Amino acid sequence: MVGTPNTKLRLPVGVKASDASLSEILMENFVGFYDWGLLDAGQYYNIHAPQSGIYGGERHKLRIVDDPNYNSGQIWEAYRQNWVWEGSGNIDGTIEQPIDISGVYVDSSFYATGNVTKPFYIDHTNGRVVFDSSVSSTSSVHLEYSHKSVQVVPSQGIPWFRQIQQGSFRSDDGFQVAASGGWAQLGQTRIQLPALAVEVVPATSLKPYALGGGQWVHSDVLFYVIAENHWECTNLMDIVVMQNDRTLNLFDPTEVGLSGAFPFNYRNELVGHANPSGLYPNLVANYNYSKCWVFDSRGAGITQLTPELYIGTARCTTEVKPI
């Protein structure tokens, strides 16, 4: 009979389909852990104005983007996406701090963030400035910013939806030519290298926790390292494997979402409380879920797909007692 109070036919109390599963929790946390860890280790570049690369080009300059979701002239992007938003003063050590974006230059005029004369917002994820109204295609747009060296992303959609972009550090190689080369793809549909893509294999095994009930859940986490140089691929794989036999504190993405502490809104714009409440260490401290033991880490070799494209795979096993 429908509605019979038979607990054997019911899911545990408190289970909601809308809550993050253990696999999703692991995914969010491992992406956050490596994204923050690499940034904290100084893996970012500060782009001052003017600045060129070793091959030339002008890294501080932005170019117009033909995005069908906006009017022509509204979107201007840099040669590298994945801009640092975590703010200066939050990175440990004595290394040069990342640049806090204070505004953007259009020709010779400077417009501060939050201005009302030529309003815009910063899309840190895709490395873009989005103006409320169009800017002439003949204008020169530039700003000072910092971008992360490595893209850390969930593996979903790679390579079926998002296109790998090689040579993204070569701002001299056709960057300022509209719809040219690797920049012909929209920023949200490409992955710049080197990249670390994370995949979680759900509940590979279970182990009893205590006589009174509960269980340890073992899940494997796979890491796909994609790089243009063999040494880059090797270094990133070493970093992943060397995290063996350590315990990570996990944050609860459901609680973070309900609290509004996530740093970005629906259009990848930083919200007012992003720094410091949205920083990875603060998410872990304020929205704690459980502990995760990382063990049995190992690499699986590197494959050279083309003369300038390498992919390596590493994996680890995690042990978590779900709440």
pLDDT of residue 89: 76
Mean pLDDT rounded to a whole number for the chain = 84
Q: Which residue has the higher pLDDT, 203 or 248?
A: 248
* 155-211 residue pLDDT tens: 875 554 445 555 555 445 554 545 544 545 544 557 889 999 999 998 777 776 665
pTM assigned to the model: 0.85
Domains of the chain, by residue range, sit at 14-40+195-320, 44-148
| Contact predicate 289/250, CB 8 Å | yes
Q: Where is average pLDDT lowest: 36-50, 55-69, 105-119, 300-314?
A: 55-69
What tens digit of pLDDT does each residue of 55-97 get? 556 889 999 998 888 999 999 999 899 999 998 777 776 578 9
Check residue 208 and give its pLDDT.
65
What token pair was written down for 59?
Answer: 């890294």
Beta strands at 288-306 and 246-251: parallel, antiparallel or unpaired: antiparallel
Average pLDDT over residues 261-287: 89
Q: How distant, in Å, are the alpha carbons of 5, 128, 309 from that of 125?
A: 49, 8, 23
